[in-house]
Structure formats: structure tokens, C-alpha cells
């Protein structure tokens, strides 16, 4: 067994060799182990802070909790814009044994459309298996109740609740409130993205848009710990969101509904203000639309229909519609003339039924010429000129005042400039003077244009709100407020902002308002027809504004021209005269004449004075 060589080998030498190599190996190992220790030292001690931060960033994620949007209530606290819980049915693929079969079952149970299924598949690709993917959106609680019974028996199905905006009164308030819609890419450009993380809706139009920053609130957050796959493990820290502020409006729901009913099918607008505050008691624009359509994104066909309609339902006529004010501005012109001593209450001028500028052949006709073939009376004073809406009187007055003085007299009542109401889209209107025409049209002012301007025709345009505001100043003897839809934001009063008052002489005021009272209450008044059974004193002024200009000497025939070319009917009023509690401006688009507008105003004022709430 012993090999011959073994006996001969030099065991001592071999041992020496091994020993020296062992020492070399020991050195090598020591060196490498030292390097290793150094490496761990540098990772764990020198760079410890960096890696600690890195590991926290790995696991901790901030998740935003969107705030609850503020609600909107009327002056009596009735909900006009609410947050309605809607339910989303989602599928967690990981939790169901056979997700395809589950989706098939859900398709049948929820009668899902192909579009919904496609959207679901698209969403699924972007989510992880343990995340819930919505398959059916926007179920209300009754719809949910009908399907929820057997849902709990299907593993992998989850029901999430979320809040969406709901406008319970739909069309009646769409123009006042506006609406919210899905946050769009354009919105995101203008927003603070931190405040809108997790928020789906944003005010797009109207009060909803104007008060967006206050309605929105402030988001809260979770600090959540996640694993490498993004699965939420636990909540480390939580800060509750700050809900948006609730808005309380001046608006009275009952009055609003009465106003909607009073206008009926008539295209037009109503603005009712509280003269004590400038608060909007009612604001109607007809036709309207259902704001709820916009919340979850309006369908293309619905939108095309609204956009394309000749009746422009999306236009808020109360603040965006610009109409020639017609004779409704006569009381203001009269007041300006009294103040500037162009007339006294006793000044009377002859009224043949027409007016002619000195040295000009053109006859400017009074409306009575068509009806009676003559003027109002032999001579007409201011009282009669207002009560019976005498054009000849104001043609003469306009000519004597001149356009610039007239514009100067009307300007303090807010014509030609935005009122500053707290909604969106308000238009300026036009209060023309010679300067305006040169700038806007590049033409000089012609004397004949002054005559038209004297009865609120020609270039002059005003919104119903501007007319209501002017009427409010008349009612208040010059005291003025910025018209406001919103009374309070949370506990803070934002409405009732007073402007520097316009000083109106008591006698001048009495002279003009006496004429306005007789518009309604005198049998010869232009709105005498609405005086029947009236239980209070109303001051009003009718107006008729031409949509097309009538050729010289042509007799205007209502039936002969198409409906859309018929005159607009206007009416402004306040009541009761001695202590006004409501101011109303009505426009009946193509109503033919003021007779289409004045009964509407009477009905609104009746409703308010019959049963007025207190702010």
C-alpha cells in the first residue's frame, strides 16, 4: 500500500512550502476582508444618511385625499348644488379566480355597453392586479340597490363611493349656478396642481367657476407605506382635507321657480334684485339647459345640439344678452335733463306724433302715429312723456342735450360697463357717445343718431342685469350696490357691497317716479293692463326695441315680419314705491312689444311681495 515514492519524499521541505504559502494566503485573505469591511463601512456609516433617505422614499408615498366641494343653498337654506354619492363598481382581478367569467357575469347583471367594456379594458392595462378597476361608473343609490344584492357573493367585485355634483333643480338654475365638469388639461395649466391632486371636478361656468377657489377647499393627505409593487400596506400619517366653503345665495328658490313659470316658453330673461343689498333674488334666462349633463362630461350629440340651437340655450341672457334698452331708459334721461336744467317738470312741448330735426326732412315717428295716427296730446310734459312713453318729447330732449351730455347722464347708472356681478361671462353693453363711435367705428357721430339714442335705440345696448341695476338705483334714490348672487361664503358675508351713491334731488326723483307710477297705475299708462287687482304701488317703465330698422315712413306690421325679427319687449319696475323691496327687469325676446314683458314682471313682484323671506 505504501508507494515507493512516499518514503523518499522530503516531508520537511513540503511542509516548509505549505507554510510559506499559508502565510501568503493569510495575507491575501486579510487584505480582501479589510477591503470588504471598508466597503460595508462606507455604505453603512459614511453614506448612511443618503441610503436611509433612499429607503424611505422607496416605501413612503403621499396619497392625496381630495376635499369635499362646498354646497350651494338658497336664502332659505335649500340645496341648489349638492354633493351626491354615486357608486362605482370595480373589479380587483387578483381577488377573483376567473376574472373573464366574472366580467361576463357583470356585463349581464349591469347590462354594460360595449363602450363601457372597452373603457374597462383600457383602464385594466394601466392598473396593477390588486387595484380596483372601475367597470361601471355613476350609479346612484337606487340603481346600486337593484344590483348590489348578489354582488357581495362575487369575489373580486368592489363598490366604491364617490361624490359628484348634483343640481336637483336642473334647468331652473343652470344659468345662475353654472356647473362643474371634469378637470381638463387646459384647467390644469392654470391651477395649482398640488391643490387639485385627486380632484375630478372643477367649476366651469357661473358661480361654480367664480367661487371655485373657495368652493374647492384644501386637500388632505395620507402618508402611506407601500411595497415594491405599490401595494398599500398601512397609513403612517394622515391629515384630513379641509372641505370647501358652502355658499348661501340671495336667491329664493320659490321666486326663481315662479319667474321661470312666468316666462314660460318665451325666450328672454328676468333679473330680480333686492334693492337693499343688490342681491339677486331671481335670475332667469330662457331657454336653459340641464347643468347635470355637464358634470360627468356631456355627450357629443347633446353638446352639438345645445351649441347649434338657434335659441342659444347656453347663453345666459341675463348677463350676456345685449339688447337695445328702448324706452326703459327714458326715466334716466329725464332725470339727467332735470338735473342739467334742460327741462323742468312743467316744460311741455308740442307733439304732432313725429319729430323733425331743424333743416332735415326726415321724420322721426312716435309709436302713437302707427296706433292712433297722431301724437299723445297737444303738448306733452315729462310726466306724460314717461307714463305714456312719448317718443317726440325725448327726441326733442335728446337733440337739445346732445349725445355726449346724454351719455354723461346715463353713465352713472352703470350702462355701458360691467356691473361686476359674481358670475361669469358678463358683457359690457354699449353706451355710445361721439368719442365711442370714432374709436369703435372710425366714423363721426351724426345728429340723427342722437335722436334714436334718446329712445334707447341705435348703438345703445344693455344687458337685463344692467337695466335691473339702473332700476335699483332709481328705487334707492341713487344708492347703489354691486349686484351679487352670493350672500355668504361660509360665515363671511360677501354680498351687499355698496358703491358711492349717486346724489339724486328729491324733487327731480319724485317727478320722474310719479311718471313711472302712472306707467302702471294710470289708465293711459303703457303698462296699464297689468294694474288690474294690484295691491301695492309699482313704478315701472316699458320698452320696445327694434330688431330691424324700419324704413322711412314704412308702417311697422308685426305679422308681416318673421318671428325672429319682431321687436323685443322690455319692462323695468320696482315696488312698493314708498319702500321698494324688489326690482325687476324683464326682456321678452321678439315678444313683439312690452306687453310680453310687463305681465311677467307683475307676476314675479306679486310672488315676492306676497310672501317675502327676510335675509
Q: Which residues bind another protein (CB under 8 A)?
A: 1-3, 5-7, 9, 11, 13-15, 17-22, 25-26, 29, 32-33, 35-37, 39-41, 43-45, 47-48, 50-52, 54-56, 58-59, 225-229, 233
**Shortest Å, Cβ 34 to another protein:** 10
**Shortest Å, Cβ 99 to another protein:** 23
DSSP 579: S
**Shortest Å, Cβ 22 to another protein:** 6
Cell numbers at residue 604, please?
314675479
Distances (CA, A) of 130 to 96, 205, 224, 516: 10, 38, 16, 73
| Closer residue to another protein (CB): 230 or 350 | 230
Residue 208: enclosing H or E segment and its boundaries? Answer: helix 206-210
| Closer residue to another protein (CB): 36 or 441 | 36
| Closer residue to another protein (CB): 60 or 554 | 60
> How many C-beta atoms lie closer than 10 Å to residue 526's C-beta?
26
Mapped onto helix, strand or coil, the DSSP state of residue 167 is coil
**Shortest Å, Cβ 127 to another protein:** 18
Residue of 124, 327, 522, 545 marked active site: 327
**Shortest Å, Cβ 90 to another protein:** 24
Residue carrying the nine cell digits 311681495? 609
Q: How large is the greatest C-alpha to C-alpha distance in the chain, in angstroms? A: 160
**Shortest Å, Cβ 12 to another protein:** 11
| d(C-alpha 517, C-alpha 435), whole Å | 35
Instruction: Judge whether 279 and 255 are in contact, CB under 8 Å.
Output: no
| Closer residue to another protein (CB): 56 or 302 | 56
327 is catalytic: yes
User: CB-based burial of residue 1 (10 Å sphere; 0-12 exposed, 13-18 middle, 19+ buried)?
Assistant: exposed
Instruction: Report phi then psi at 170, rounded to 5.
Output: 50, -125
Residue 123: alpha-carbon gap to chain centroid: 33
**Shortest Å, Cβ 21 to another protein:** 5
DSSP string, 537-564: --EEEEEEE-SSPPPTTPPP-GGGS-GG
| Closer residue to another protein (CB): 29 or 188 | 29
| Closer residue to another protein (CB): 55 or 529 | 55
**Shortest Å, Cβ 236 to another protein:** 11
C-alpha dihedral (484, 485, 490, 496), degrees to nearest 10: 30
Mapped onto helix, strand or coil, the DSSP state of residue 509 is helix
556 preceded by a cis bond (ω within 30 of 0) = no
23 preceded by a cis bond (ω within 30 of 0) = no
Cell numbers at residue 251, please?
336667491
**Shortest Å, Cβ 231 to another protein:** 9
| Closer residue to another protein (CB): 54 or 565 | 54
| Closer residue to another protein (CB): 59 or 372 | 59
| Closer residue to another protein (CB): 51 or 536 | 51
Residue carrying the nine cell digits 353713465? 411
List b or e across 395-432, with b for residues whose CB sees 16 or more CB atoms inside 10 angstroms: bbbbbbbbbebbbebbebbbbbeebebbbbebbebbbb
Instruction: Judge whether 475 and 580 are in contact, CB under 8 Å.
Output: yes
Nearest to 282 by CA among 614, 597, 585, 494: 585
**Shortest Å, Cβ 228 to another protein:** 4
| Closer residue to another protein (CB): 42 or 498 | 42
| d(C-alpha 550, C-alpha 560), whole Å | 12
C-alpha dihedral (494, 495, 500, 506), degrees to nearest 10: -160
Cα end-to-end distance, the chain, whole Å? 120
Instruction: Judge whether 605 and 611 are in contact, CB under 8 Å.
Output: no
Cell numbers at residue 535, please?
295691491
Instruction: Judge whether 602 and 596 are in contact, CB under 8 Å.
Output: no
Give catalytic residues, as residue numbers: 327
Amino acid at each position: 500500500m505504501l508507494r515507493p515514492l512516499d518514503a523518499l519524499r522530503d516531508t520537511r521541505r513540503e511542509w516548509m512550502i505549505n507554510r510559506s504559502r499559508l502565510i501568503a494566503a493569510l495575507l491575501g485573505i486579510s487584505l480582501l476582508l479589510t477591503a470588504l469591511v471598508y466597503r460595508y463601512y462606507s455604505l453603512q456609516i459614511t453614506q448612511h444618511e443618503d441610503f436611509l433617505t433612499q429607503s424611505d422614499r422607496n416605501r413612503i408615498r403621499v396619497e392625496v385625499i381630495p376635499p369635499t366641494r362646498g354646497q350651494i343653498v338658497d336664502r332659505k337654506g335649500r340645496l341648489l348644488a349638492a354633493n351626491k354619492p354615486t357608486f362605482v363598481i370595480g373589479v380587483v382581478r387578483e381577488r377573483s379566480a376567473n376574472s373573464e367569467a366574472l366580467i361576463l357575469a357583470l356585463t349581464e347583471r349591469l347590462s354594460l355597453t360595449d363602450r363601457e367594456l372597452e373603457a374597462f379594458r383600457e383602464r385594466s392595462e394601466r392598473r396593477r392586479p390588486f387595484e380596483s378597476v372601475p367597470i361601471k361608473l355613476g350609479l346612484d343609490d337606487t340603481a346600486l340597490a337593484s344590483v348590489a344584492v348578489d354582488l357581495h357573493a362575487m369575489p373580486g367585485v368592489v363598490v366604491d363611493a364617490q361624490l359628484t355634483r348634483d343640481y336637483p333643480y336642473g334647468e331652473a338654475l343652470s344659468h345662475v349656478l353654472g356647473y362643474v365638469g371634469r378637470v381638463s388639461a387646459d384647467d390644469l395649466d392654470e391651477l395649482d396642481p398640488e391643490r387639485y391632486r385627486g380632484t375630478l371636478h372643477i367649476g366651469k361656468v357661473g358661480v361654480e367657476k367664480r367661487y371655485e377657489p373657495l368652493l374647492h377647499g384644501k386637500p388632505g393627505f395620507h402618508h402611506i407605506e407601500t411595497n415594491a409593487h405599490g401595494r398599500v400596506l398601512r397609513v403612517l400619517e394622515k391629515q384630513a382635507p379641509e372641505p370647501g366653503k358652502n355658499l348661501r345665495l340671495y336667491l329664493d328658490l320659490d321666486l326663481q321657480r315662479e319667474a321661470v313659470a312666468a316666462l314660460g316658453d318665451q325666450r328672454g330673461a328676468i333679473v330680480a334684485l333686492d334693492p337693499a343689498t343688490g342681491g339677486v333674488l331671481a335670475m332667469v334666462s330662457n331657454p336653459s339647459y340641464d347643468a347635470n349633463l355637464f358634470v360627468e362630461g356631456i355627450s357629443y350629440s347633446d353638446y352639438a345640439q345645445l351649441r347649434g340651437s338657434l335659441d342659444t340655450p347656453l347663453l345666459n341672457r341675463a348677463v350676456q344678452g345685449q339688447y337695445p334698452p328702448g324706452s326703459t331708459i327714458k326715466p334716466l334721461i329725464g332725470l339727467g335733463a332735470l338735473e342739467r336744467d334742460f327741462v323742468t317738470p312743467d316744460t311741455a312741448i308740442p307733439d304732432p306724433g313725429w319729430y323733425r330735426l331743424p333743416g332735415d326732412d326726415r321724420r322721426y315717428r312716435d309709436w302713437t302715429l302707427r296706433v292712433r295716427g297722431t301724437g299723445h296730446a297737444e303738448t306733452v310734459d315729462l310726466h306724460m312723456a314717461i307714463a305714456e312713453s312719448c317718443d317726440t318729447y325725448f327726441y326733442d330732449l335728446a337733440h337739445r342735450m346732445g349725445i355726449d351730455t346724454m351719455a354723461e347722464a346715463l353713465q352713472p347708472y352703470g350702462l355701458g360697463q360691467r356691473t361686476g356681478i359674481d358670475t361669469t361671462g358678463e358683457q359690457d353693453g354699449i353706451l355710445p357717445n361721439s368719442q365711442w363711435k370714432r374709436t369703435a367705428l372710425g366714423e363721426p357721430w351724426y345728429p340723427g343718431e342722437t335722436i334714436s339714442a334718446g329712445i334707447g335705440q341705435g348703438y345703445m345696448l344693455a344687458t337685463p342685469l344692467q337695466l335691473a341695476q339702473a332700476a335699483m338705483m332709481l328705487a334707492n334714490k341713487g344708492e347703489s350696490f354691486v349686484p351679487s348672487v352670493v350672500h355668504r361664503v361660509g360665515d363671511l358675508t360677501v354680498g351687499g357691497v355698496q358703491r358711492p351713491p349717486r346724489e339724486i334731488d328729491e324733487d327731480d326723483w319724485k317727478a320722474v317716479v310719479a311718471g313711472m307710477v302712472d306707467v302702471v297705475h294710470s289708465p293711459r299708462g303703457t303698462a296699464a293692463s297689468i294694474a288690474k287687482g294690484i295691491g301695492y304701488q309699482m313704478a315701472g317703465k316699458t320698452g320696445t326695441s327694434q330688431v330691424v330698422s324700419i324704413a322711412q315712413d314704412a308702417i311697422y306690421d308685426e305679422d308681416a315680419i318673421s318671428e325672429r325679427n319682431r321687436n323685443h319687449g322690455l319692462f323695468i319696475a320696482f315696488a312698493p314705491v314708498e319702500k321698494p323691496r324688489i326690482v325687476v327687469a324683464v326682456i321678452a325676446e321678439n315678444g313683439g312689444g312690452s306687453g310680453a314683458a310687463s305681465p311677467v314682471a307683475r307676476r314675479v313682484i306679486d310672488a315676492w311681495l306676497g310672501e317675502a323671506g327676510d335675509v
